[in-house]
Amino acid sequence: MSKKAGRSTGVDIDVDEAWADLLSPGRRALLAGSGVAAGLAALGAAAPARAAQATTANAAAGPAARSSSGLPASQTTALQTPPPDGRSPWGYDTIHEATPAPDSVRPNEQTLPTQPRAYTDIKSYHAHVYFDEDSYKKAVQLRQWVADRFDVELGNWNQGPRGPHVTPSFYFGFVPEQLPVIVPWLQLNSLGLTILLHPNTDDPRADHLYYTLWVNRAQPVNAYGMRTPTDADGKPLIEVIYPNTRPHVAIET
């Protein structure tokens, strides 16, 4: 490629050749067949010649365009973002703020409980099966297996975030008496999918954040803003399970 053609395509031939001489000054002399001695002599002569050419090119390009190395300044100068106009909305004394103790984010435990909760506070369970565009076929198979084998309440497909769940998912609900069978069955048949199991009590936020079981890995659950639904008298409403599947396959034992 000629120098003219090189410049028309944005390639700086002088810079490329200066780099080549810097890395291997005698390479061209050796390849030209001038022998080792001539190649060694080129080590002392070629680099100054190239340096002179680069200096001439730098002068033509202007001081702002080239650095002392002969390379464009854009290749040797760190990027510097100019400071923005205006003032920070946070002010300029945030570093001096005291570190407050945050309010407890664990519901109903602003103080240490004196008694354990009764396990009968759990009225049902949900299993949320998470998937994505790479694993949805596994979710399809697992969903069918569940519907064929268990008397559960099967929800619809969530193809995006829904409620506190930040990825696509489907859910099925079941009663506490099924827990000893469904949990080990899911452990062995999860197909590698992430599954959240949580109880349903009078505290949905705690159900999703603190009373959980996970099959495989855990993932974020955006449940901090959940509030407990109440009836007209202000009493907490606890979700009820209404099975809607028709199981016809015996569970593997």
| Tens-place pLDDT, residues 78-89 | 777 777 888 889
Residue 252: Cβ within 10 Å count? 9
* Ranges in the chain annotated CATH 3.30.70.1240: 119-215
At 146, list the tokens. Answer: 């569940």
Query: If 0-12 CB within 10 Å is exposed, 13-18 middle and 19+ buried, where does residue 186 land?
Result: buried
State how far Cα 6 lies from the chain centre.
42
**Residue 10's pLDDT is what?**
60
| Tens-place pLDDT, residues 130-158 | 999 999 999 999 999 999 999 999 999 99
In degrees and rounded to multiples of 5, residue 62 shows phi and psi of: 100, 150
At 143, list the tokens. Answer: 């969903």
At 19, list the tokens. Answer: 């780099």
On the CB side of 62, CA atoms within 13 Å amount to 2
Query: If 0-12 CB within 10 Å is exposed, 13-18 middle and 19+ buried, where does residue 150 land?
Result: buried
| Tens-place pLDDT, residues 208-238 | 999 999 999 999 999 988 888 888 888 888 9
Least confident range from 67-81, 158-172, 199-213: namely 67-81
DSSP-H helix ranges across 150-212: 179-189, 204-209
At 11, list the tokens. Answer: 């390639």
CATH number given to 119-215 = 3.30.70.1240
On the CB side of 224, CA atoms within 13 Å amount to 5
